[in-house]
Amino acid sequence: MNKHHPGASFAPASEHDTTSPDRPYWDPKLETQSRAEWEAMKLALMKDHLRHAYENSPYYKKSFDEAGVGPDDLQTLEDLKKFPTINKSVLRERQEALPLLGDIAAVPEEQVVYVSASSGSTGVPTVSPFTAEDFDEWMDYEARQFWSSGLRPTDRYAHSLNFSLFIGGPCVLGAQKIGALSIHAGTVPSERLLTMLKTFQATAMWTTPSYAWYLGETALKEGIDPKTDLAIKKIFVAGEPGGSIPETRQRIEELWGADVYDYYGLSDIFGACAGMCEAKDGLHWAEDHIHVEVIDPETGEHVPPGGRGEMVLTTLKKRARPLVRFRTGDIVSFTEETCSCGRTSQRLMGVHGRLDDMLVIRGVNIFPSDVEAIIRKDHDFTGEYRIVVERVNHLDQITVEAEKIVGFNGTDEELAKRLKDHIKAVTGVGARVSILEADSLPRATHKAKRVEDRREQVWTT
């Protein structure tokens, strides 16, 4: 849709201009450097960062010593494999052992100016600390990312994410940094948000994919056509895989008459660590801040570029709490090819699911996002669905409940068969399909819970 922002009628700006509101890049030299320059930059940053971690974090001192490695053992980026990994439960455990910041932190608390917190599955909030410098670096990255998605000083940006300790909250300052008029909307009731969007004639907003859909449907029910009565032309989404599933993204775009840009965030590092540029072909990664490895979750070996594997992250600059080889549990794929926008950073080509979302049905791995893509491609469905997994007579059974649209002409039997065949063809899993009336599944106002696993014991491969 909108490939050009309002400034596009001016003469093209130089690629090296860093002041024009019409320049294509926020930081031209960085964003278009060669892959060799990226690698050299990351190696230099990583050497410095590992030394900072080893010398200032009691946790890393002990963990590196126990593994028999030290900062000098890193001579190439590949050498990172020698270092031990950590995960979310280690973060939680170290924080509980030494409240508030834990001994992974590498600066004294007086240097920390901000913490975000994420509740996680056990309900114990884990905090992510920032020094003043970390916070500035983060805002600069958010600004760069927003710029790549076409946000400009002429935009009115409605930040519709939770502010309460939520890592996405401060991202609004990234929009302010580029000069956009920023509306700190937060999570208000949808009627109120719609009134705000209409009154302020906001041109951009950030929310989750489920909520963008819900809000668009709510608007229509209230007699507001998002395409004509509102001015939203850009929607940034994060928090669920939907924004990178083309079928889901396109349906939100059709509902709003706006472009949808997927962002990926990780509460333990940054609000957004990657985001789509205007080409919408993968998510440009914050490569000068976070080094990525993609590994086979079973063997720990690196997966070749383009392959699916678990994402493991190492921060390169975050002084308050370095993360070295943090296992995210997200199953992803990346490319290092130059994007059509001219940016050369690695691109996240999809979060295919969470390791703990992955369902193993009779020995076959299946991700809910695969089922979602199939349903959303078929316009005889509303797009809302639920996956129920049960164990019947010792065999795993998966039932996909999908809503048909109002006014569907055919029979439920043929619609169910079509969906069943598609699921079988794409995933290799034989699913039962149950066709529901439109509006019978609960609508998500936050992150959608679309999988109900009723099995008592779930085997993983």
Alpha helix stretches (DSSP H) within 117-231: 132-148, 172-178, 190-200, 209-221, 226-229
Among 180, 202, 312, 341, binds Zn ion (CB under 5 A): 341
Among 212, 277, 402, 431, binds Zn ion (CB under 5 A): 277
Looking at 158-166, 196-204, 333-341, 426-434, which segment touches Zn ion (CB under 5 A)?
333-341
Please choose, from the candidates 366, 361, 375, the residue with its C-alpha nearest in 3D space to the C-alpha of residue 422: 375
Minimum Å gap between C-beta 145 and Zn ion is 11
Cβ–Cβ under 8 Å, residues 435 and 420: no
Q: Which is nearer to Zn ion, 93 or 337 (CB)?
A: 337
Minimum Å gap between C-beta 202 and Zn ion is 25
Q: Which is nearer to Zn ion, 151 or 255 (CB)?
A: 151
The contacts of residue 417 (CB under 8 Å, 6+ apart) are: 433
Please choose, from the candidates 297, 307, 350, the residue with its C-alpha nearest in 3D space to the C-alpha of residue 460: 297
Q: What x/- string results for residues 22 through 61 when contact with Zn ion is judged by CB under 5 A?
A: ----------------------------------------
456: its two tokens: 């008592």
Q: What x/- string results for residues 234 through 273 when contact with Zn ion is judged by CB under 5 A?
A: ----------------------------------------
Answer yes or no whether residue 343 interacts with Zn ion by CB under 5 A: yes
Looking at 83-91, 277-285, 312-320, 453-461, which segment touches Zn ion (CB under 5 A)?
277-285
Answer yes or no whether residue 405 interacts with Zn ion by CB under 5 A: no
Looking at 128-136, 155-163, 223-231, 340-348, which segment touches Zn ion (CB under 5 A)?
340-348
How far is the C-alpha of 280 from the C-alpha of 272, rounded, in Å?
16
Minimum Å gap between C-beta 185 and Zn ion is 28
* Phi (first) and psi of residue 332, to 5 degrees: -135, 170
Q: Which is nearer to Zn ion, 8 or 426 (CB)?
A: 8
Cα dihedral 291, 293, 294, 296 sign = negative
Number of shown-chain residues binding Zn ion (CB under 5 A): 5
Q: Which is nearer to Zn ion, 32 or 128 (CB)?
A: 32
Neighbours of 378 (CB within 10 A): 16
Q: Which is nearer to Zn ion, 31 or 330 (CB)?
A: 31
Minimum Å gap between C-beta 51 and Zn ion is 33
Q: Which is nearer to Zn ion, 127 or 277 (CB)?
A: 277
Cβ–Cβ under 8 Å, residues 180 and 157: yes
327-360 CB burial, b ≥16 within 10 A, e <16:
bbbbbbbbeeeebebebbbbbbbbbbbbeebbbb
Minimum Å gap between C-beta 275 and Zn ion is 10
How far is the C-alpha of 449 from the C-alpha of 461, rounded, in Å?
23
55-77 CB burial, b ≥16 within 10 A, e <16:
eebebbbebbeeeebebeebeee
3-class state of residue 156 by DSSP: strand
Minimum Å gap between C-beta 284 and Zn ion is 6
Minimum Å gap between C-beta 199 and Zn ion is 33
Q: Which is nearer to Zn ion, 71 or 275 (CB)?
A: 275
How far is the C-alpha of 149 from the C-alpha of 249, rounded, in Å?
15
For strand 204-207 and strand 234-237, is the pairing parallel, antiparallel, or unpaired? parallel
Looking at 157-165, 201-209, 302-310, 331-339, which segment touches Zn ion (CB under 5 A)?
331-339
Minimum Å gap between C-beta 110 and Zn ion is 40
Minimum Å gap between C-beta 13 and Zn ion is 17
How large is the C-alpha radius of gyration of the chain?
23
Cβ–Cβ under 8 Å, residues 430 and 334: no
Report the half-sphere exposure of 239 (CA within 13 A, side-chain side): 23
Among 339, 348, 358, 387, binds Zn ion (CB under 5 A): 339
Element housing 63 (H / E): helix 58-67
Q: Which is nearer to Zn ion, 323 or 339 (CB)?
A: 339
Among 279, 364, 388, 416, binds Zn ion (CB under 5 A): 279
Q: Which is nearer to Zn ion, 347 or 352 (CB)?
A: 347
Minimum Å gap between C-beta 279 and Zn ion is 4
Q: Which is nearer to Zn ion, 181 or 279 (CB)?
A: 279
Q: Which is nearer to Zn ion, 165 or 279 (CB)?
A: 279
Q: Which residues bind Zn ion (CB under 5 A)?
A: 277, 279, 339, 341, 343
